[in-house]
């Protein structure tokens, strides 16, 4: 509750939570922080991984149809470009397109805590604004932002989204996690456009006044493909707020969070103020989780690894299976435990039973495995019907432990003759910080394969050359780097 007199029209000081973000975005000097080397190294891999997911998404017409101008002909020559296409758009629409590309396959990085989400979603806004600024500077003889500056903005966007997610559960009040993409992208995009502290607070206040989108499009019985463009929509809205604050001088709302009755806390967060586990730094980028082997909702990543380990033992005995027992974390049991018919790919890639059944039967899980054609195999639903999903309390404790951040799952298969496989448990997937040395070669292979699947060979060669030399990559003007991805 605000201590400000509800009857008074006098405006209070800005809510501290909004000021803290503005202070961090403008004043936190990443290069002066002792741990920033790991953050920058991880951010480079995050950038490459996100562009890989964007290129992989170009194989899917349902994604591609979202990537152009909002209406035919509404292009902006010299504007922000959409990787893997020839589109040149205003930065807000480009932010939507890039955010949609990166998120479409559920294959970009992940953050799991009281709230979950995908911090690299923010690249939709960051890359669009950076390319717009870089190309504008190129035309006008100014200084274009470098790739290293983009990495710094990405570290800060990751940190804002991730630190809010540690103790504040938006899903518990029915709101989707992209509310934090909009928040982080709004703050960073406003600063990128030259906004001062007051303008950043103003833009953030508008982001909170937008409230949040409902999570119903992620859950039965309404699961649908909006979840694949929701982050893009948040990025677009963030860029609009940034432009309004910096270039149009819109008025801010200082108690957008705390105003009695009408503020976000009272309207949408059950009267509770936000809580924070740690100050802003570079923790989130350093600990972010990469999806490297399987395009699966992250609470199920280790379940898929378990199923892959069991495939050889069960592939020839699918009809003899009596029960498959899956143990997961509380969050996994709550959001991806689904029975009954699955209506579309968005239903399937958020169903732990489906994501376990496919690797048990086929020994794989790819984006194509969520298609209607693969789902029509009667063995999948028959096996799903014989699965039991439950929470393992230790997995839940390890999930919330800040020193571990595990995402444990176990799978065991029981046969009708009374025999069974061993119980296979995986605490954290290959994309976890504790498996970075193992994971980075997989990430780079994913990146190269994604490029070769969509771009001409000469462009792939140039991208691989420039991205493999960190000093060269960091120094590149961002518009030159993104130009390598333009068709």
pLDDT reported for residue 4:
52
Distance of CA 415 to the CA centre of its chain: 38
Q: Distance between CA atoms of 459 and 442, rounded to whole angstroms?
A: 21
Q: Which positions ≥6 away from 223 have C-beta within 8 Å?
A: 217, 343, 344, 346, 347, 350
Q: Distance between CA atoms of 222 and 239, rounded to whole angstroms?
A: 29
Task: For residue range 140-153, list pLDDT tens digits in order.
Answer: 999 999 999 999 99
User: How many residues does the structure list for the chain?
Assistant: 487
Residues of the chain with pLDDT under 70: 1-7, 33-35
Question: CA distances (Å), 192 to each of 195, 222, 232, 333, 453, in order?
Answer: 7, 37, 18, 40, 32
pLDDT reported for residue 1:
42
Task: Identify the DSSP state of 146.
Answer: B
pLDDT reported for residue 247:
98
Question: CA distances (Å), 277 to each of 75, 283, 394, in order?
Answer: 44, 11, 21
H helices of 323-428, in order, are 330-335, 345-348, 352-362, 372-375, 378-384, 393-400
pLDDT reported for residue 402:
83
pLDDT reported for residue 29:
85
pLDDT reported for residue 185:
98
Task: For residue range 233-261, list pLDDT tens digits in order.
Answer: 999 999 999 999 999 999 999 999 999 99
Residue 444 near residue 48 (C-beta atoms within 8 A):
yes
pLDDT reported for residue 7:
65
Q: Which positions ≥6 away from 364 have C-beta within 8 Å?
A: 358
Residue 78 near residue 122 (C-beta atoms within 8 A):
no
Question: In the block, which residue shows the tokens 């799978």?
Answer: 411
């Amino acid at each position: 509750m605000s201590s400000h007199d509800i009857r008074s029209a006098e405006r209070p000081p800005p809510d501290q939570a909004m000021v803290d973000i503005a202070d961090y975005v403008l004043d936190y000097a990443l290069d002066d922080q002792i741990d920033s080397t790991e953050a920058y190294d991880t951010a480079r891999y995050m950038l490459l991984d996100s562009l890989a997911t964007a290129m992989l998404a170009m194989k899917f017409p349902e994604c591609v149809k979202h990537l152009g101008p909002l209406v035919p002909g509404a292009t902006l020559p010299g504007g922000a470009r959409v990787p893997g296409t020839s589109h040149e758009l205003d930065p807000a629409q480009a932010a939507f397109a890039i955010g949609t590309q990166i998120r479409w396959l559920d294959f970009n990085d992940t953050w799991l805590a009281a709230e979950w989400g995908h911090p690299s979603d923010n690249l939709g806004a960051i890359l669009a604004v950076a390319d717009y600024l870089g190309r504008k500077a190129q035309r006008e003889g100014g200084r274009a932002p470098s790739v290293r500056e983009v990495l710094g903005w990405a570290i800060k966007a990751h940190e804002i989204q991730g630190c809010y997610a540690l103790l504040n559960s938006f899903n518990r009040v029915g709101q989707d996690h992209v509310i934090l993409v909009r928040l982080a992208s709004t703050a960073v995009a406003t600063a990128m456009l030259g906004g001062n502290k007051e303008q950043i607070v103003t833009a953030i206040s508008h982001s909170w006044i937008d409230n949040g989108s409902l999570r119903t499009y992620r859950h039965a019985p309404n699961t649908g493909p909006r979840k694949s463009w929701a982050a893009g929509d948040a990025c677009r809205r963030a860029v609009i707020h940034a432009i309004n604050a910096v270039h149009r001088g819109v008025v801010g709302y200082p108690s957008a969070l705390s105003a009695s009755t009408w503020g976000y806390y009272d309207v949408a967060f059950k009267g509770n103020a936000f809580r924070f586990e740690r100050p802003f730094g570079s923790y989130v980028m350093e600990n972010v989780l990469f999806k490297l082997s399987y395009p699966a909702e992250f609470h199920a990543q280790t379940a898929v690894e378990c199923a892959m380990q069991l495939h050889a033992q069960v592939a020839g005995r699918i009809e003899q299976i009596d029960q498959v027992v899956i143990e997961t974390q509380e969050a996994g049991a709550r959001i991806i435990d689904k029975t009954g018919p699955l209506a579309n790919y968005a239903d399937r890639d958020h169903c732990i039973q489906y994501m376990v059944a496919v690797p048990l039967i086929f020994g794989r899980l790819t984006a194509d495995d969520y298609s209607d054609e693969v789902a029509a195999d009667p063995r999948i639903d028959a096996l799903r019907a014989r699965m039991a999903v439950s929470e393992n309390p230790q997995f839940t404790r390890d999930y919330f432990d800040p020193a571990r951040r595990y995402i444990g799952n176990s799978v065991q298969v029981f046969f009708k003759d009374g025999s069974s496989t061993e119980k296979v448990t995986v605490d954290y997937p290959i994309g976890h910080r504790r498996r970075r040395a193992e994971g980075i070669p997989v990430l780079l292979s994913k990146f190269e394969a994604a490029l070769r699947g969509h771009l001409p060979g000469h462009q792939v060669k140039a991208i691989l050359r420039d991205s493999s030399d960190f000093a060269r990559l960091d120094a590149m003007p961002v518009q030159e780097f993104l130009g390598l991805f333009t068709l």
